Amino acid sequence: MHEIEGLAAIVAGMHPQQEKVESARVWLTLLRASTEGSADDVLRLPGRISEFAAALEAGRSDGTPERRSGAIAIAAIAGAYAAAMRGDHAAVAAETRDAREIIGRLPASHPAHSVTAGLLERFESLIDMIDSSSGRTPSVTADTHLERLRVQAAAPGLPAADRAARLHNLGYSEMGYGRDSDRMLDSAVDHLREAVALAGEHDHRQVFYLGNLGLALLARVYSRRSRADRGRALSRWRETRATRRDLTEAIQMLEEARAIAGSDLSAHWSLFSNPLAHAYRHAGQPARGREVALAGLRGHAWNVLLQPDTASTQVAARHAAGDAVDVAVWCLEDNDPASAVTALDAGRALILYAATETRDLAARLEDEGRADLAERWRAAAAGQAEPPGELRREVISAIARIPLDPTGTARVTLDAGSARLLSPPGLEELRAALTALDTDALVYLTPVPNGSGVAVIVPAGGPPTWLTLPELGRGWGADFDAYLTAATRSSRRDLAASAPTGTLDELCDRAWTAAIGPILAQLPDASRIVLIPMGELVRIPWHAARRTVGGRLRYAIEDMTFSYTPSARLLCDVAWRGAPPPAAHCLIVADPDTAGAAADLSSARAEAWAIREAFYPAAGYVGRTPDGSSSSDGPGSREDVLGWLADGGAAGALLHLACHGVVEPGTDSADTSYLLLSGGERLSAEELVSAAGVGRPIALAVLGACSSGVCGRGDDEAFSLSTTLLASNVATVVGTQWSVPDAATSVLMFMFHHFLRQERLAPAEALRRAQLWMISSNRRPPATMPPWLRALIVSPGPASPGEWAAFVHFGR
């Protein structure tokens, strides 16, 4: 690759040499991606090939149109590869279909047919297997796919390496189709064994051959054990002997795969850690299984840290949360709740973790005494969009104190490196942080694979415990998903009147019986807890859990104060960061004119103006005033907000956002969570994590923007507007979990600042008191509330959860 980069510079503008060099670069990148498991290489490949196609179009060589069509087809296949790595099954199907269509229009003699035939068949088989195994539709083409692979594997005259690759493809497909077929699993094991035997020791694909043979053997173990449990005593004894042989061989194959990967710094090493841990547990070695699984989770963290952008990080973190829950469940089964806490946090908020840990790497290198490496990093960053992966690995290794050999392989295991970079906090540090934050307990709410759930509780003054919560499993209701969809996808801070609020009431009832009631019974003396909901549970307003007491509804916030955090690691960071002193120097962003990109928020303007007049008369005020005119301080642009965040002149400031916030699901774009500002400008969570980390320490950020606490990159990733501010330089963040009614939000926000400034309450308690005021049966506005805000209080009676429950507290 280094030589190719040099050649590319030499032949730039020379045809056809430039096209030939670029073609070599594309295929070498694909080879490196498959060798190292590099998400960065795979995700960048479709764009690189598309650039190659554009260069062909601009070139002067003969046959350019056909060569360009071939390049476009290969770009579609690369897109399918990238989609498969992201776990986007629909995109795999779409890209494969596009590639097939483009290639079908090329002459039969075009080389793209032979180059892409095997890849297309492989993706089509993968799509069919996924559909079949997921229950979407029974496969009607399995026999056709498998027969085609058998013919390819039996072709005469193949070199050993090529035959091994085809046998592996056949065995892997048989394993995918044959989960419930002993005959097909037997055939899969035979073909995968043959692939392993044929592949040379230097074949970079051997790690996959060994690993997938181990997986096929494990699949046969599960199948035989299930059948033996239902069989007669004699057949059970015979099956057990065969099962033990398979289990022993599976462990051997998976261990060899990890050994070939080289170290726990390899993506392939982490990939096979969880299956190997499963195998150890089946073999009656639970302690060894936990050890291997926890090391695999550290490997996930390392690979996430090495990625250059959030799209690559998303791919690297894709399996971490699921693996973490598996490991945590094993730890609880083995009566080891302390290790369960470590496991759960190892899979949490990894994108956020990487974004903050890798910010300003040059300065951190200088702190480590590596000014030479810092200079190389700055030079590389200035010369291209992203520094090369090899340099990034060297930089992260220096910061983590993990030495590398000349090939880039770690000389030590991750256990010998920096615990700060690769491991969650220990119990003693976590208890100290809880005490520093005046919090009684940290609680993980975790759905588990069997359909139930657990609460893992870390008290500030005692050993960790856990509760089994049978009703906490998956499936919290399609109706609530519809509520979130109606509220969140619109990018409006004005919830439609037709949104199914009744579903939210039912959810609050269920939240009490499923989790909060049992947890509070376990913590009878607690007055404040911090929650880390996992998976889909992150969307639930647990603080609004309720039951009926004395003939009236009683909400959980009437019993204690609730806070949330993305991870225990970030909770500790917030605790040690300290609390900036409150200050009047603040910025209020009030409903900027989005140039038609979103609806006007007249109540938000009234809210922002009233808050400034009553509590922060010296505040900067950007956006629009109540009459719709632009503020003299600024229109509420990206420059207004970023400039204020970067100003280090006044510590202890406050940021209040009364504007649109948008969440869009996805992994490619850098703005799945963003503020919508003046002229339709976007300010993304990715940009906030950089901007808020270099200026003043900020005491409080209040995000009345819709869905500011929701992530567009996956429930367990927690990469939202709220959490990026918290992970940067903000001590406390108040954000929202879904779109909120404009008028009710304005009233609630005024009351929050009332309790914060007039009654001098801490932010968490101020939010709780404002929410308690909203559910009071006789709400009386304070004298400082202006008439136009009073007019928004439609009824003096208790507000519904839809009007206040979306707001949550993070941090101090």
| DSSP of 4-52 | HHHHHHHSTT-TTHHHHHHHHHHHHHHHHHHHHT-HHHHHHHHHHHHHH
Q: What is the pLDDT of residue 328?
A: 94
Q: What is the pLDDT of residue 15?
A: 76
User: What distance lies between CA 352 and its chain's CA centroid?
Assistant: 8
Structural tokens at position 87 = 């776990």
Q: 789, 606 in Cβ contact below 8 A? A: yes
d(CA 293, CA 216): 19
d(CA 277, CA 634): 57
pLDDT band (50, 70, 90) for residue 253: very high
- Quick: pLDDT tens for 434-449: 999 999 999 999 988 7
Structural tokens at position 564 = 């949330």
Q: CA–CA distance from 498 to each of 6, 483, 503, 508, 741 (Å)? A: 61, 9, 12, 19, 12
Phi-psi map region of 216: left, alpha, beta (phi>0 left; psi -120 to 50 alpha): alpha
Q: In sequence order, what E strands does 69-203 have?
A: none
User: What distance lies between CA 648 and its chain's CA centroid?
Assistant: 31
Least confident of 327-336, 459-468, 479-488, 709-718: 709-718
Q: 430, 571 in Cβ contact below 8 A? A: yes
Average pLDDT of the chain, as a whole number: 82
d(CA 333, CA 54): 57
pLDDT band (50, 70, 90) for residue 807: very high
Least confident of 10-19, 124-133, 222-231, 800-809: 222-231
Strand, helix or coil for residue 522:
helix
- Quick: pLDDT tens for 679-701: 999 988 778 777 765 566 788 99
d(CA 457, CA 445): 9
Q: In what order do the strands lie in the sheet with 620-623?
A: 465-468, 453-459, 441-447, 528-533, 561-564, 807-811, 730-736, 698-703, 653-658, 586-590, 620-623
d(CA 372, CA 362): 10
Strand, helix or coil for residue 445:
strand
d(CA 257, CA 408): 18
Q: What is the pLDDT of residue 495?
A: 46
Q: 511, 540 in Cβ contact below 8 A? A: yes
Q: 542, 531 in Cβ contact below 8 A? A: yes
Q: Which residues contact 27 (CB under 8 A, 6 or more apart)?
A: none
109 pLDDT more than 80: no
Q: CA–CA distance from 212 to each of 224, 453, 715 (Å)? A: 18, 30, 29
Helices (H), 636-741: 638-646, 685-691, 721-727
Beta bridge partners of 674: 662, 684
Q: Which of 322, 404, 321, 391 is nearest to 358 (CA)?
A: 391
Q: 220, 198 in Cβ contact below 8 A? A: no
684-701 burial string, b = 16+ CB within 10 Å, else e?
Answer: bbbbbbbbbbebbbbbbb
Which pTM was predicted?
Answer: 0.84
Q: 43, 311 in Cβ contact below 8 A? A: yes
Q: What is the pLDDT of residue 330?
A: 92
Q: Which of 293, 222, 282 is nearest to 258 (CA)?
A: 293
Please tell me which residue, 415 or 636, carries the higher pLDDT value.
Answer: 636
418 pLDDT more than 50: yes
Beta bridge partners of 658: 590
477 pLDDT more than 70: no
Please tell me which residue, 373 or 138, carries the higher pLDDT value.
Answer: 373
144 pLDDT more than 80: yes
Q: What is the pLDDT of residue 492?
A: 46
d(CA 741, CA 736): 11
**Span between the terminal Cα atoms of the chain, in Å:** 48
Beta bridge partners of 653: 698
Q: Which residues contact 384 (CB under 8 A, 6 or more apart)?
A: none
DSSP codes joined into one string, 320-346: HHHHHHHHHHHHHHTT-HHHHHHHHHH
d(CA 692, CA 580): 14
Q: Where are the domains of the chain?
A: 1-140, 157-261, 263-424, 428-474+522-563, 568-806
Q: What is the pLDDT of residue 233?
A: 55
d(CA 749, CA 767): 9
Q: What is the pLDDT of residue 488?
A: 47
Strand, helix or coil for residue 601:
coil
- Quick: pLDDT tens for 719-751: 778 888 888 888 999 998 877 777 888 899 999
Q: Which of 53, 108, 105, 106 is nearest to 75 (CA)?
A: 53
CATH code for residues 568-806: 3.40.50
Residue with tokens 């090493």: 269
Strand, helix or coil for residue 622:
strand
Q: Which residues contact 215 (CB under 8 A, 6 or more apart)?
A: 175, 250, 275
**Mean pLDDT on 772-782:** 91
